[in-house]
Chains A and B, each alone.
Chain A
Amino acid sequence: MSDKVLLDYGSGGRASQRLVSELFLAAFDNEELSRLNDAAVLDLSGPVAVSTDSFTVDPIFFPGGDIGSLAVHGTVNDVAMLGATPRYLTCGFIIEEGLPMEDLRRIVASMAKAAREAGVLVVTGDTKVVPKGACDRIFINTTGIGEIIVQPTPSAERAAPGDAVLVSGNMGDHGLAILSKRQGLSFEAPVESDSAALNHLIVSLVQSLPQVHVLRDPTRGGLATTLNEIAASSGTGILVRESVLPITDAVRSGCSFLGLDPLYLANEGKFICILPQELAEKALRIMRADPLGRDACQIGVVTEENPKKVILETPIGGKRLLGMLEGEQLPRIC
Chain B
Amino acid sequence: MDLFAGFRDPAIARALLEKIRGETRGVRFMEVCGTHTVAIFQSGLHSLLPENIVHLTGPGCPVCVTHDAEVAAYLEAAAKDKVIIATFGDLMKVPGPGGASLKSAQADGARVKVVYSPSDALALARDNPDDTVVFIGVGFETTAPGMAATVKMARAEGLSNFKVLSFHKLVPPALEALLSDPGMEIEAFILPGHVSAVIGAGAYRPLAEKFKVPAVVAGFEPLDILQGLIILIEMLREGRHGVVNQYTRVVTEDGNAKARALVAEVFETSDALWRGIGTIPGSGLTFAKEYADFDALAALGIELKETPPIKGCMCGDVLKGKLAPNKCPLFKKACTPARPVGPCMVSSEGSCAAYFKYNLES
Name the one of A184, A311, A313, A330 contacting B113, with C-beta atoms under 8 angstroms.
Answer: A184
Q: List 16 A-B residue pairs with CB atoms under 8 Å apart, sorted by A's residue number.
A: A313-B44, A314-B42, A317-B14, A318-B44, A319-B360, A321-B362, A326-B337, A331-B89, A332-B88, A332-B90, A333-B62, A333-B90, A333-B349, A334-B35, A334-B140, A334-B142
With the chains together, A184 CA to B142 CA distance in Å? 22
> Does A185 count as interface, using CB distance less than 8 angstroms?
yes
> Does A259 count as interface, using CB distance less than 8 angstroms?
yes
> Does A109 count as interface, using CB distance less than 8 angstroms?
no
With the chains together, A306 CA to B47 CA distance in Å? 15
> Known interface pairs A321-B360, A333-B88. Does A316 touch B45 (Cβ–Cβ under 8 Å)?
yes
Chain A hits for B42, CB < 8 A: 314, 320
With the chains together, A311 CA to B360 CA distance in Å? 8
Closest B residue by C-beta to A314: B44
Closest B residue by C-beta to A249: B2
Closest B residue by C-beta to A334: B142
Q: Determine if A321 and B116 form an interchain contact, defined as CB atoms under 8 angstroms apart.
A: no
Tell me the minimal C-beta distance from B297 to chain A in angstroms.
20
Q: Determine if A316 and B43 form an interchain contact, defined as CB atoms under 8 angstroms apart.
A: yes
Tell me the minimal C-beta distance from A32 to chain B in angstroms.
42
Q: Determine if A320 and B143 form an interchain contact, defined as CB atoms under 8 angstroms apart.
A: no
Closest B residue by C-beta to A321: B358
- Which residues of A81-105 are within 8 A (CB) of B? none
Chain B hits for A185, CB < 8 A: 115-116, 120
With the chains together, A187 CA to B349 CA distance in Å? 22
> Does A201 count as interface, using CB distance less than 8 angstroms?
no
Tell me the minimal C-beta distance from B307 to chain A in angstroms.
22
**Most interface-central of B139, B356, B360 (chain A CB within 10 A):** B360
Tally of contact residues, B, Cβ under 8 A = 49
Closest B residue by C-beta to A311: B360
Chain B hits for A313, CB < 8 A: 44
**Most interface-central of B8, B42, B44 (chain A CB within 10 A):** B44
With the chains together, A315 CA to B356 CA distance in Å? 21
Known contacts A186-B117, A326-B338; 15 further A-B pairs (Cβ under 8 A)? A184-B113, A185-B120, A186-B116, A243-B10, A306-B360, A316-B13, A320-B41, A320-B44, A320-B47, A320-B358, A323-B356, A332-B90, A332-B347, A334-B139, A334-B194
> Does B52 count as interface, using CB distance less than 8 angstroms?
no
> Does B119 count as interface, using CB distance less than 8 angstroms?
yes
Tell me the minimal C-beta distance from A57 to chain B in angstroms.
17
Tell me the minimal C-beta distance from A37 to chain B in angstroms.
42
Tell me the minimal C-beta distance from A267 to chain B in angstroms.
21
With the chains together, A306 CA to B45 CA distance in Å? 19
Tally of contact residues, A, Cβ under 8 A = 28
Q: Which residues of A contact B (CB under 8 A)?
A: 184-187, 243, 249, 258-259, 306, 311-321, 323, 326-327, 330-334
Q: Determine if A318 and B114 form an interchain contact, defined as CB atoms under 8 angstroms apart.
A: no
Q: Determine if B8 and A316 form an interchain contact, defined as CB atoms under 8 angstroms apart.
A: yes
Chain B hits for A334, CB < 8 A: 35, 62, 139-140, 142-143, 194
Tell me the minimal C-beta distance from A273 to chain B in angstroms.
26
Closest A residue by C-beta to B63: A333
> Does B46 count as interface, using CB distance less than 8 angstroms?
yes
With the chains together, A318 CA to B225 CA distance in Å? 14
Tell me the minimal C-beta distance from A256 to chain B in angstroms.
9
With the chains together, A313 CA to B44 CA distance in Å? 7
Chain B hits for A249, CB < 8 A: 2
Q: Which 7 A-B pairs have the closest CB atoms?
A: A318-B44, A330-B89, A314-B44, A316-B13, A320-B358, A331-B89, A326-B337
The contact string, 1 if C-beta is below 8 Å from chain A, for chain B 112-130, is 0111110110011000000
With the chains together, A258 CA to B348 CA distance in Å? 13
Q: Determine if A184 and B115 form an interchain contact, defined as CB atoms under 8 angstroms apart.
A: yes
> Does B325 count as interface, using CB distance less than 8 angstroms?
no
With the chains together, A259 CA to B113 CA distance in Å? 17
Chain B hits for A243, CB < 8 A: 10
The contact string, 1 if C-beta is below 8 Å from chain A, for chain B 350-362, is 0000001111101
With the chains together, A316 CA to B225 CA distance in Å? 13
Chain A hits for B8, CB < 8 A: 315-316
Chain A hits for B300, CB < 8 A: none
Closest A residue by C-beta to B41: A320
Q: Determine if A184 and B123 form an interchain contact, defined as CB atoms under 8 angstroms apart.
A: yes
Name the one of A311, A314, A332 contacting B348, with C-beta atoms under 8 angstroms.
Answer: A332
Chain A hits for B119, CB < 8 A: 186
Tell me the minimal C-beta distance from B36 to chain A in angstroms.
12
With the chains together, A328 CA to B38 CA distance in Å? 18
Chain A hits for B63, CB < 8 A: 333
With the chains together, A321 CA to B354 CA distance in Å? 10
> Known interface pairs A332-B88, A333-B63, A333-B90. Does A314 touch B116 (Cβ–Cβ under 8 Å)?
no
